[in-house]
Structures are given as structure tokens and as C-alpha cells.
Chain A
Amino acid sequence: MAASPHTVSSRLLTGWVGGCVWYLERRALQESPHTFMHLFRSVSKQWITFQHLTFLRRMYVTQLNRSLNQQVKRKPEPVSSPFLEKTPLGQAKAEICEMRPLPPPSLPLPRKPNEKELLELESASIIDSSLDAEKETKEEKHWKEMKLHLDDLPGILARLSKIKLTALVVSTTSAGFVLAPGPFDWPCFLLTSLGTGLASCAANSINQFFEVPFDSNMNRTKNRPLVRGQISPLLAVTFATCCAVPGVALLTWGVNPLTGALGVFNIFLYTCCYTPLKRISIANTWVGAVVGAVPPVMGWTAATGSLDAGAFLLGGILYSWQFPHFNALSWGLREDYSRGGYCMMSVTHPALCRRVALRHCLALIGLSAAAPALHVTTWTFPVISLPINLYISYLGFRFYRDADRKSSRKLFFCSLWHLPLLLLLMLTCKRPPGASGAGGEPRS
């Protein structure tokens, strides 16, 4: 089951990268970590378990042959394990067991004499145990040492902080910044982006810290660093603190206190309200929508220093967008939510789920029309955004009426491209400074 995320931030991630993967095939998402793990193993320090595998395979010694000629008699039934996948299976005849084409060079020579000793000890082994041995080996080589390697750390932290989702959040903040009136200030822009990025990393890390057993039980989230034990909870919390403190400090003192306060508020809302609420009440979806709406507001306040109507408009657009996006997504995850104990509208109030999605699709049309009225954009904007807004509303209506997987998927995928396109159109139709409202030229 493509257990895609249910957190707002994760939803946005799904909206982009994750969503595309979900579309391609769930298996792809599941298999790629395995493939990566094979590669990883082949160049990593897992030679200890590799040794187990190798000498256990050598236990296939025939009764006739007391001498240790490393002869392997393979069982007819294919023993499928990721390690052996690379070699052709199903060969019933004995074959010389040679070191598998996984890192022969990395095997330290001193090990070899040891293996010979092992083999001498094992010479009396019974073949029957070989199948059990294979099974156990297969299982054992999945055991990993919980040792943190520094060169893995950046990758692990990137996954912990949901870096791609953070990038999306930062881009909505940037959109808010650019759309705000006033001269464009590069240093402020960069500080805002960086501060928001750090705050988002912190919030995502804490979210993962809270949700380890739940993430383990859902397909999409089961490869997260804390679930896999690649990092300790202490380190996750420390990392979150090390992101939150500089991030908020940067926003408060580098930009303005209002933006800093919004950053803190959003972190709090996401980690302490939304995350626990997911398991308590369906209200989590509305809270999550607010979490998604705050970053562009932060961008606006960073540029202007105040919360004016334009900020709320942008926030409103992001807020409304969350519903068709998430509700459509959650429609396909009902089984996982039910099993995992997540309170989502799609499970408990399916009709409400669809109604809300449709309602907010229509709200997007209204908000787009309000944009020029609030002097955020020119009047060109509602005109050129009408087609895409009508289209998503149409899909929302289909979802409302049909209530099936097909319509939910269509709505979800539409939301993926709808938002960036809408923001792009807004940017091109930004109200030029000092221009009058009547159909001004789009700013390039």
C-alpha cells in the first residue's frame, strides 16, 4: 500500500517527488531502498555478515568429501536472498564456491585462514541444516550495527529533516517574499529562506522523533532514519534543537521579530499540535492546513514587516490548497490509517472529506479573484488562473460525486501541479509598484 504521508509537510513532499513516485509504482519506492542497500552493502563495512554468509554457504559440503574443497551443492529450491540475487540461482549441480563478486578486495587477508579453521570444524556438518542456515543467514545479514558513520550523517540528517519537503516550504516562503510589495532585498530574502529552512528541518525532525512506531507500520515512512536505527533519538532531538535555535534566531534578529514569532509558532503548531492530534481527532487536517499556510505568510512579513491582507490572502490560498491535496491523498490510505490508529476524515467521515475538498477547490477560485482586490496582483491573474482553478474544482466535484480511488488520484495529481502553477501565475501578475489596477502588464 502506498502509505504516503499524512503530515502536511509530508503531503507537500508527496505533492512533488513522492507523488510522482507513487504514481509510477509503489514497488519502485519500496525496491529502490533495497537496491540502494545492496549497493551500500557491497561497499560498506558489512563484511562481517558477509563472512557469515560465505562460510555458511561453504557448509554445503558433501558427505563424501571430507577434504575442504569448498564445494557447494545447491539445493534445488531457489534460495532467494538479496545477496545471492546477483548470481544465477536454481543451479542444482554443485559448483565451486568462490567469493561472490562483492568486494573481494575489501576482504582482509587475515580472515581467510580463520575461515579454513571454521571449515575444518564444520566438515561434519549435516546438509539438512544448510537450509536453516541459509534462512538464518538471510535474516542475520539484515542485522546492522548501530554505529554512526560520519560520512553517512549528511544523508541521514537530510532524510530526518525531510529536506525535499523543506525545500518546498522554503519555496512557498520565497513566493510570499517576492509577492510582497516593496523593494526586493536580497540579504533579507536569503536570511528568510535560510531561517525558514532551518525551522522546517527542526519541525520535521521532531515529527519523526515522535512517530517512530507509527512510521514503522506504514510503507512509505518505514525507511526513515529513526525507524531504521541509523540515528539515535537523542541525536535527532539535538539536531532539531541545533536547527531550531539558529533558525529562529536568524528570523528574529536577522529579519524581524514578527517572522521569528511566526516561525516558532509554526514549529510548535506542527510538532505539538498537529503531530499528536493526528491520532486524536480529525481536526488535525485543519491544523495541518494552517501549518502549510504559515510559511508564505512568513515570507510576506519578512519583506514588509507586517501582517496585512496580502499575507492572509497568500496564507489562505495555501490553506485551501491543502484540502483537495490531502483529502484526495488520504482516500487511498484508509487501510493504513485505520490500522495505525490515525484519525483522518477519509476513514471516519468520508462524506465530509469529499465535501471539504470540493469546498476548498471552489474557495481557490474566490481567493484568486480576491488577489487583485487586495492589490497583490493585477486583474489578469484571476482571468488566467481561472482555467486551472476550474479544472481542479471539476476534479474536486468528480471526487465528491464518485468517491472512488480513480477520482481521488486524479484530484491528487492535479493538486501537484496546480499549486506551483498558481504561484507562478501570481508572480507573473504581481502588482507593479505604483501601477493602477486595470489589467496591468504582467511583471516578468
Chain B
Amino acid sequence: ALLCAAAAEGRAMAALRPARRALLPPLCRAFAGPSYQLASERAAERRDAASGRVSGFCPPRISCHDWIGPPDKHSNLRPIHFYVPENESPLEQKLRKLRQETQEWNQQFWANQNLTFRKEKEEFIHSRLKAKGLELRAGSGQKATLDAEEMADFYKEFLSKNFLKHMYYNRDWYKRNFAITFFMGKVALERVWNKLRPKPKTTST
């Protein structure tokens, strides 16, 4: 429960949070990903908009599944709130950590990419307009823009500038994607196996 409060620290939600905290039993901690853990509270703080957004979202306690959120406004990726079951096996934990880490890595890459794109685009427009002798805002107050043909130079330059970055990203993404899927398969098999195998005899007195 404290963890949900930690997550909402930066927000003026004082009135709301304690009440909700009282309602949602400590099982809420079960839904905590690393961004909510006390240990990485400070880590969450140093996350700026570009690298990660700390959402105050806490899934309802009766849910035993992951929850997926709306697309992040910088990276356009949807964050997932991972469910931590009580009897999580080491394999499941490994999978969850891999997914969490990949999510953060992806978030960082795309948020950075999109922000850089936006910024460089603005700069390009600005410099072109200046070269043309136009103001950024025309007399009517409307923002002056370049048309697609003029922007084409920028698009080409941006793409080639980031080519190597994308190569590395692609390679890593494919590796991670395969690894995650592979572990998902292993976890699924493990679960099936646990269900099917004869239960170990519990000594009852």
C-alpha cells in the first residue's frame, strides 16, 4: 500500500490516495513493478518525461493479470503493469524482469527518438524559414510551416543520421522479443507441468 503512495508522490493527490490506500489491501504491493518499489523510489524520481512516466495506476486487487495502459505521449508505447503472483517461480520472475526491463529500454529509446525528431524538425523549419526570410509565425498568427517537399530533405537527413542507431536497436529488439517469447513458452510449459504432475505429498499431522 505504501508503494502506491510512493508512486503518486509527485501528484497533489493527498486527499485521494490515503482513502484508496485504505481500501486497497496490501495485495496492491503485488502489482508493484520496479518503478513502485521503495528501493527504486529515487530511481523513479530521476525518470524524466523522456525516459519514463511514473503512473499512479494501481490495478484492482481482485485482478490476477497484467494491466496495459494508454500509449505514452512521448514514446507511443503502452506501459504494462506486471502482476506479481504470490507463488512466483524463479522462471516467472526472470520473465517478468526481462519484460519490465525491455519495456523501460523501449520506452527510453522511442521517447528519445520522438522527442529528438520533433526538436530537430522544429529547428529545421526554423532555419529554412529564416533562410526564406519568413517569420515562424505569419501575420495572421498562424504558424508557418514548410510543405512536404521542403521537409523531404529533413526526413532524408534524419533517417540517415539515425541509421546506425536503428540498426543496433533492431538487433537488440529482435533478441529481446525472441527471448521474451521463448521464456513465455517455458513458463507456460512449467505451469502446465505443475498442473499435471502428481502433487507432492504434504505431511499432515
Contacts and interface: CB of A to CB of B under 8 A. Distances in A.
Interface stretch (A72-80, A124-132, A158-166): A124-132
B160 interface: yes
B16 A133 contact: yes
Interface stretch (A188-196, A332-340, A423-431): A332-340
B57 A339 contact: no
B148 A227 contact: no
Contacts of A222: 71, 76
A405 B77 CA distance: 29
A146 B76 CA distance: 18
Interface string B114-156: 1001000000000000000000000000000000110110111
A143 interface: yes
Contacts of A212: 177
B149 A404 contact: yes
Contacts of A136: 11, 13, 16, 56
Contacts of B110: 213, 216-217
A140 interface: yes
A256 to B, nearest CB: 33
Interface string A166-195: 000000000000000000000000000000
B19 A122 contact: yes
A99 interface: no
Contact of B67 (A124, A129, A146, A342): A146
A118 B23 contact: yes
B158 A339 contact: yes
B68 A139 contact: no
Interface residues of B, number: 59
Interface string B161-192: 01101110110011001001100110010000
Interface stretch (A19-27, A231-239, A294-302): A231-239
- By secondary structure, the B interface counts as helix
Nearest to B151: A335
Interface residues of A, number: 54
Interface in A43-57: 48, 56
A350 B11 CA distance: 48
A405 B68 CA distance: 37
A93 interface: no
Contacts of B76: 216-217, 222
Interface of B: 11-16, 19, 22-23, 55-57, 59-60, 62-63, 65-71, 75-78, 80-81, 106, 110, 113-114, 117, 148-149, 151-152, 154-156, 158-160, 162-163, 165-167, 169-170, 173-174, 177, 180-181, 184-185, 188
Given A228-B78, A334-B152, 18 more contacts: A121-B19, A129-B15, A132-B12, A132-B16, A136-B11, A139-B57, A140-B56, A143-B70, A144-B69, A146-B80, A213-B77, A229-B66, A337-B155, A339-B117, A341-B159, A343-B159, A347-B156, A350-B152
